């Protein structure tokens, strides 16, 4: 077995295993993916050089090194299109639906991020959890405190992660200790954009929490930032929970619906990502498609908070860009594998709650791996850099062991096709299956193994 150094490899390195990546949406193209059972991914200077059958590429490219991941699946790193890093330590909090959950658990937890040392500690754990789970890019909420974003970006930079994040804008309907103002949120967001957006692989997202916690003046300030900085992101929540939708109607009586509140302030365009969209109307899906905005489908959160069942099939019909989001801490896992597994169950449940079950199709395994990789990259408008092994893309990739647990090994004996294996992996799998995570060609090592490494140096045999 080849050595596994942390440093980026000099020269051309071939990673050998079963290589899978997507070229298009499997729901729309019959040739949406490329798969090489005995394949290699060639990486040079942190970028993808080529992908193809091992025998062919090893001969044609004569790599300087071969790293053998035989029997493993090599995929582009997962992309989490909606997650809250400050909620890492409150994951799995009992019993409430969205609005009460925010008051009971979330706001007090986020209040702690006034302290930069606390923010730094949580950011470290969060980034390690992303990487442990094979997630190499995420679109992330901070808290209202600018220092929360500094802590996260600093941590992401130390791992050279491609990460998109922003400071929450929130000037009403939350505890005083978490409120900013329209003016202060504008100024602080602007300063953070100037400090971080485009620094290395980091990108900024203007982040109003959701319509109920922003005054019209603050949403207007968010729109102004997007006009002044057209290539930043917009990240918020929409139509997650019925009580929330009713509240928005009472707060913005002139708007024609929840999404229209954001549309009126110019917040919907490409690089706008709306989390959830569980209760969107048909015309709202059409509006999203027309504006180029995307939805983050967050199944573990929607089930855990009892929010409802996102209609992926409807989003597909309207050709709305969709990515997968863990939505930790409303969501219950950092694992995109687990998230795919729950997404499948949501599409199954739609059959039970419709008058036309024959018109309902379950989420296929190919489509769910697409959503976790290229689909997420498209939702973020980053498909020319990440999400697939297109030559020239940034070499963020993961190595999955489909046989990581005794049960999985046993079950895999019966999985005959690629689709079978992918499906079992998403149904039973999680971070235990993530054998390696590479960020721009550099292998990440878990803090536990970093610790072991240090101890080994202190106590040589």
- Which residues lie near ligand GUN (CB under 6 A)? 84, 98, 102, 106, 209-210, 237, 240, 301, 327, 330
How many C-alpha atoms does 326 have within 13 Å on its Cβ side? 31
Q: Which does 332 bind (CB under 5 to 8 A by kind): Zn ion, ligand GUN, none?
A: none
Q: Structure tokens of 264?
A: 């009126």
Residue with Cβ nearer Zn ion (33 or 334):
334
Secondary structure (3-state) at 114: helix
Q: Which is nearer to ligand GUN, 13 or 298 (CB)?
A: 298
Burial class from Cβ neighbours inside 10 Å (0-12, 13-18, 19+) for residue 4 reads: exposed
* Angle at CA of residue 396, ends 297 and 456, nearest 5°: 115
Query: In the bound complex, which residue of the shown chain has the CB atom lying closest to ligand GUN?
Result: 330
Taking the least distance from each CB to Zn ion, the nearer of 141 and 186 is 141
Instruction: Give the one entry of Zn ion, ligand GUN, none that residue 25 binds, where binding means its C-beta sits below a cut-off of 5 to 8 angstroms depending on kind.
Output: none
3-state helix, strand, coil in the chain (%, to 5): 45, 20, 35
Would you say 43 and 436 are in contact if contact means Cβ atoms under 8 Å apart? no
Give just the sign of the alpha carbon dihedral 61, 63, 69, 74: negative
Residue 400 is a binding residue for Zn ion (CB under 5 A): no
In angstroms, the CA 161 to CA 46 distance is: 12
170 binds Zn ion (CB under 5 A): no
Q: Which is nearer to Zn ion, 168 or 320 (CB)?
A: 168
Helix 418-428 vs helix 336-352: angle between axes, to the nearest 10 degrees? 100
- Minimum distance between the CB of residue 312 and ligand GUN, rounded to whole angstroms? 18
- Residue 347: in which H helix or E strand, if any? helix 336-352
CB of 84 to ligand GUN, least distance (A): 5
Is 57 or 298 the residue whose CB approaches ligand GUN more closely?
A: 298
User: Of residues 180, 327, 383, 394, which one binds Zn ion by CB under 5 A?
Assistant: 327
Residue 279 binds which entry of ligand GUN, Zn ion, none, CB below 5-8 Å type-dependent: none
The DSSP 8-state label assigned to residue 355 in this structure reads S
CB of 197 closer than 8 Å to CB of 234 = no
Q: Which is nearer to ligand GUN, 145 or 237 (CB)?
A: 237
Q: Pick between residue 69 and residue 237 the one whose CB is nearest to Zn ion.
A: 237
Does the protein bind Zn ion through residue 110 (CB under 5 A)? Answer: no
Q: How far is the CB of 365 from ligand GUN (least distance, A)?
A: 26
User: Tell me, what DSSP letter sits at residue 143?
Assistant: -
Q: What 8-state DSSP symbol labels residue 394?
A: B
Instruction: Please confirm whether the linkage preceding 170 is cis (ω < 30° from 0).
Output: no
What's 384's DSSP letter?
T
Backbone CA torsion sign across 59, 63, 64, 65? negative
3 state DSSP class of 295: strand
Please, are residues 119 and 81 in contact by the beta-carbon 8 Å criterion? no
Q: How far apart are CA 249 and CA 246, in angstroms?
A: 5
- Min dist CB 367 to Zn ion, Å, is 23
User: In the complex with Zn ion, which residue's Cβ is closer, 101 or 265?
Assistant: 101
CB of 226 to ligand GUN, least distance (A): 20
Which two tokens mark 457?
């140096």
Tell me which residues in 263-302 interact with Zn ion (CB under 5 A): 275
DSSP run (H or E) holding 178: none
Geometric angle at alpha carbon 196, from 192 and 201, rounded to 5°: 150
- CB nearer to ligand GUN: pick between 238 and 434: 238
Q: To which H or E segment does residue 223 belong? A: helix 216-228
Q: Residue 240: which of Zn ion, ligand GUN, none does it interact with, CB under 5 to 8 A by kind?
A: ligand GUN
Looking at the Cβ atoms of 182 and 275, the one nearer to ligand GUN is 275
Supply the minimum distance, in Å, between the C-beta of residue 298 and ligand GUN.
7
Interface contacts to Zn ion, rule CB under 5 A:
275, 327
């Amino acid at each position: 077995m080849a050595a596994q150094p942390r440093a980026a490899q000099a020269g051309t390195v071939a990673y050998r295993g079963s290589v899978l990546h997507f070229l298009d949406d499997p729901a729309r193209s019959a040739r949406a993916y490329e798969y090489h059972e005995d394949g290699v991914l060639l990486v040079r200077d942190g970028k993808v050089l080529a992908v193809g059958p091992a025998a062919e590429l090893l001969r044609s490219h004569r790599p300087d090194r071969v790293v053998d991941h035989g029997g493993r699946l090599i995929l582009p790193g997962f992309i989490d299109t909606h997650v809250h890093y400050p909620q890492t330590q409150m994951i799995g909090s009992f019993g409430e639906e969205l609005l009460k959950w925010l008051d009971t658990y979330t706001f007090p937890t986020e209040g702690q991020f006034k302290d930069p040392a606390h923010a730094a500690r949580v950011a470290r754990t969060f980034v390690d959890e992303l990487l442990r789970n094979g997630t190499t890019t995420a679109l992330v909420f901070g808290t209202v405190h600018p220092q929360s974003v500094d802590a996260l970006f600093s941590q992401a930079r130390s791992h050279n992660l491609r990460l998109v994040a922003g400071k929450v804008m929130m000037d009403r309907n939350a505890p005083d200790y978490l409120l900013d103002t329209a003016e202060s949120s504008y100024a602080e967001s602007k300063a953070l954009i100037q400090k971080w957006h485009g620094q290395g692989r980091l990108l900024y997202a203007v982040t109003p929490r959701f319509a109920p916690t922003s005054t019209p003046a603050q949403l207007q300030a968010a729109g102004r930032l997007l006009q002044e900085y057209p290539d930043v992101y917009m990240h918020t929540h929409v139509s997650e929970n019925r009580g929330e939708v009713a509240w928005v109607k009472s707060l913005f009586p002139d708007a024609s619906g929840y999404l229209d509140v954001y549309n009126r302030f110019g917040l919907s365009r490409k690089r706008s990502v709306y989390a959830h969209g569980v209760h969107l109307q048909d015309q709202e899906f059409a509006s999203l498609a027309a504006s180029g905005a995307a939805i983050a489908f967050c199944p573990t959160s929607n089930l855990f908070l009892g929010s409802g069942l996102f209609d992926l099939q409807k989003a597909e019909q309207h050709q709305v860009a969709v990515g997968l989001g863990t939505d930790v801490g409303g969501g219950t896992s950092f694992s995109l594998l687990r998230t795919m597994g729950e997404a499948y169950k949501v599409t199954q449940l739609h059959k039970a709650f419709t008058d036309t079950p024959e018109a309902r199709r379950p989420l296929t395994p190919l489509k769910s791996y697409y959503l976790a990789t290229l689909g997420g990259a498209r939702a973020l408008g980053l498909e020319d850099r990440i999400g697939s092994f297109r030559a020239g893309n940034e070499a963020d990739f993961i190595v999955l062991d489909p046989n990581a647990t005794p049960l999985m090994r046993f079950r895999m004996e019966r999985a005959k096709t690629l689709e079978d294996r992918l499906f079992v992996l998403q149904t039973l799998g999680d971070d235990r299956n993530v054998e390696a995570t590479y960020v721009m060609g550099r292998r990440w090592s878990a803090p536990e193994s970093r610790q072991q490494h240090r101890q080994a140096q202190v106590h040589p045999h």
